[in-house]
């Protein structure tokens, strides 16, 4: 088959342009004195640009078979197309619609104490990924939080109702079970080996803005991001692959077509992607999925019982370190896993199971990916020596029930429910497990006439520190009460 372009026969094109173009390419290569690697690429381009037009099979009417491409085997091939990876991954990515009913009042009438409460249907949309062929789906907790009805739409447009197996607010991961599933569904494997490197190519697949399934590509721009403000115990994969509203809960996929993270948040001034997105690493996703499939109603996180500060440049110099690294231990919980393992004040924790740690959030995350009872290798710097200790991590001690506590039955604060803080309770409430004192867990009766709220910490009565709920029983009129709320301390007199 012969073709003509702008009135030129292919043979004429070859005679007129091939030799001058080849000469031009070689001139550039010689003039710029290219490096060997660049020379190879340039040579390939010259061959492509200056080759014989008659050699292409397209001119014979023979074209590539549909879906004949394979997963790229090297970086150069990768740039040609991500289609083989997408073709394998996309069928397992789903769209999630969560519906809830909210009770609202007209703000105008509410100002005057009136107005009839009305119910409004609210709907949120996000993405998810099927991780087990019988319909187990992973998504973000914030996508389905508070939902009364959840509907999941597959890539092939099939729809299924879904129920929540486990929702973990701390990691922002939820696990759903599709209902009425017949036959095996497509799945993606969770790769929790953490072998990724900064610069690796990744794909973000989801349903941004509700426009339908969309694939964006980028690289891993950072690993182990902890100081993001998203979570105090999270360590995120950062990517420049475009993540927008609706992508939440969708997978971050590597070039093997495996899930290495769940897209959960972006940094943006406009609400749209600015090239800084964050994904929950697969190691934490796996931990939540295993808990859900194991029948647990919540994710029980172990802890080390260690608190510390990041090593600054000044601290590194004082310790004789060649660079700032690790977490310097400032406090150990008495009888906790860290203390029993032999960790000491002043030790610098540098790694957990070989994974680098540089702040408290990183330590919490690394410990949290393990199960209670696991023995974990902790790498330390002590007196200029590298030390490794084995710590058997355990759940936080104490009762985590937020409805616990004793109710004051007499005095001006009658009806106030208070509880002695335990590490488990403090953690459940989003606080520091090392916090000591008394927390307000409920306000009824006479106590409702004061400005106390659930979550307030009672720090002192008449200037004396409070360490147990029993001490609050002695509050009388004219007692001076010091409370802490949102990090601020306030002192007032009980009337």
DSSP letter at 67 equals T
The answer to whether 129 touches 123, Cβ cutoff 8 Å, is no
Q: How do the pLDDT tens digits run along the chain, 495 residues long? A: 433 333 444 444 444 444 444 343 433 333 443 334 333 333 433 333 334 444 444 344 444 455 555 666 666 665 568 888 999 999 999 999 998 876 665 555 555 555 556 667 778 789 999 999 999 999 999 999 988 999 999 999 999 999 999 999 888 999 999 999 999 999 999 998 888 899 999 999 998 888 888 999 999 999 988 766 666 557 899 999 988 888 899 999 999 999 999 999 877 666 666 778 999 999 999 999 999 999 998 888 899 999 999 999 999 998 888 889 999 999 999 999 999 999 999 999 999 999 999 999 899 999 999 999 999 999 999 988 999 999 999 999 988 887 778 888 888 888 888 988 889 888 887 778 888 889 988 888 888 888 888 888 889 888 888 888 888 887 888 888 899 888 889 888 886
Residues 358, 474: one domain?
no
Give the pLDDT score at 49: 38
Annotated catalytic residue within 172, 191, 192, 427? 172
Largest Cα–Cα distance of the chain, in whole Å? 105
Domain boundary among 271, 299, 327: 299
Q: For residues 258 and 255, what is the distance between their CA atoms, to the nearest angstrom? A: 7
Nearest residue to 395 via CA among 298, 292, 289: 298
Examine residue 67 and state whether it is found in any structural domain, yes or no.
no
Contacts for 480-483 with beta carbons within 8 Å, 24 or more apart? Answer: 482/458, 483/440, 483/452, 483/456, 483/457, 483/458, 483/459
Residues 258, 132: one domain?
yes
Examine residue 5 and state whether it is found in any structural domain, yes or no.
no
Task: Report the relative pairing of strands 385-392 and 394-395 from DSSP bridges.
Answer: unpaired
172 labelled catalytic: yes
290 labelled catalytic: no
Residues 364, 484: one domain?
no
Residues 147, 255: one domain?
yes
CB-based contacts of 39, cutoff 8 Å, min separation 6 = 29
The answer to whether 472 touches 452, Cβ cutoff 8 Å, is no
CATH of the domain at 325: 2.30.42.10
Annotated catalytic residue within 124, 127, 142, 231? 142
Q: Whole-prediction pTM value?
A: 0.73
Examine residue 68 and state whether it is found in any structural domain, yes or no.
no
Domain boundary among 395, 430, 450: 395
Residues 290, 319: one domain?
no
Residues 289, 309: one domain?
no
Give the pLDDT score at 117: 66
- Tokens read off for 359: 């702040």
Examine residue 1 and state whether it is found in any structural domain, yes or no.
no
Residues 204, 337: one domain?
no
Give the pLDDT score at 58: 39
Q: For residues 442 and 444, what is the distance between their CA atoms, to the nearest angstrom? A: 7
Structural domains in the chain (count): 4
Q: What is the DSSP string of 142-164?
A: HHHTT-SEEEEE-TTS-EEEEEE
Residues 312, 223: one domain?
no
Examine residue 198 and state whether it is found in any structural domain, yes or no.
yes
Domain boundary among 281, 299, 317: 299
Residues 137, 86: one domain?
yes
248 labelled catalytic: yes
Range of the domain at 468: 406-493
Residues 322, 458: one domain?
no
Examine residue 383 and state whether it is found in any structural domain, yes or no.
yes
Examine residue 388 and state whether it is found in any structural domain, yes or no.
yes
Annotated catalytic residue within 248, 273, 310, 379? 248
Residues 353, 451: one domain?
no
CATH of the domain at 190: 2.40.10.120
Residues 29, 98: one domain?
no
- Tokens read off for 39: 């020379």
Examine residue 70 and state whether it is found in any structural domain, yes or no.
no
């Amino acid at each position: 088959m012969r073709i003509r372009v702008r009135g030129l026969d292919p043979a004429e094109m070859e005679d007129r342009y091939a030799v001058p173009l080849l000469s031009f390419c070689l001139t550039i290569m010689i003039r710029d004195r290219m490096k060997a690697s660049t020379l190879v690429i340039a040579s390939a381009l010259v061959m492509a640009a200056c080759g014989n037009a008659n050699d292409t099979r397209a001119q014979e009417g023979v074209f590539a078979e549909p879906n004949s491409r394979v997963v790229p085997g090297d970086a150069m091939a990768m740039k040609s197309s991500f289609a083989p990876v997408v073709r394998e991954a996309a069928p397992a990515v789903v769209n999630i619609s969560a519906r809830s009913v909210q009770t609202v009042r007209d703000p105008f009438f509410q100002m005057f104490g009136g107005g009839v409460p009305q119910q409004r249907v609210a709907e949120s949309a996000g993405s998810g990924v099927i991780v087990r062929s019988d319909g187990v789906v992973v998504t973000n907790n914030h996508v389905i939080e508070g939902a009364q009805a959840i509907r999941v739409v597959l890539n092939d447009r099939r729809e299924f109702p879904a129920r929540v197996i486990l929702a973990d607010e701390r990691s922002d991961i939820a696990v759903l079970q599709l209902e009425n599933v017949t036959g095996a569904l497509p799945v993606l494997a969770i790769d929790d080996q953490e072998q990724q490197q900064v610069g690796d190519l990744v794909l973000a697949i989801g349903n941004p803005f509700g426009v339908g399934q969309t694939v964006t590509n980028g690289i891993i721009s950072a690993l182990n991001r902890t100081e993001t403000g998203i979570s105090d115990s999270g360590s995120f994969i950062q990517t420049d692959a475009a993540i927008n509203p609706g992508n939440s809960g969708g997978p971050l996929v590597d070039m093997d077509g495996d899930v290495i993270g769940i897209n959960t948040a972006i940094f943006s001034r406009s609400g749209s992607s600015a090239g800084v997105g964050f994904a929950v690493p697969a190691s934490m996703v796996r931990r939540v999925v295993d808990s859900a499939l194991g029948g647990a109603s919540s994710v029980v996180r172990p802890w080390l019982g260690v608190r510390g500060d990041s090593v600054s440049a000044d601290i590194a110099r004082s310790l004789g370190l060649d660079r700032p690294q690790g977490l310097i231990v400032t406090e150990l919980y008495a009888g906790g896993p860290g203390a029993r393992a032999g960790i000491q004040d002043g030790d610098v924790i540098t790694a957990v199971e070989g994974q680098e740690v540089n702040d408290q959030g990183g330590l919490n995350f690394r410990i949290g990916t393990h199960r209670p009872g696991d023995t974990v290798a902790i790498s330390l710097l002590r007196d200029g020596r590298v030390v490794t200790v084995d710590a058997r991590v355990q759940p936080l001690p104490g009762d985590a029930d937020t409805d616990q506590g004793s109710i004051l039955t007499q005095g001006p604060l009658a009806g106030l429910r208070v509880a002695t803080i335990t590490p488990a309770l403090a953690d459940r409430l989003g606080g520091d497990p090392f916090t000591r004192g008394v927390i307000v867990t409920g306000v009824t009766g006479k106590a409702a006439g004061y400005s106390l709220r659930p979550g307030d910490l009672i720090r002192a009565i008449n200037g004396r520190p409070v360490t147990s709920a029993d001490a609050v029983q002695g509050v009388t009129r004219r007692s001076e009460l010091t409370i802490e709320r949102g990090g601020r301390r306030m002192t007032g007199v009980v009337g």
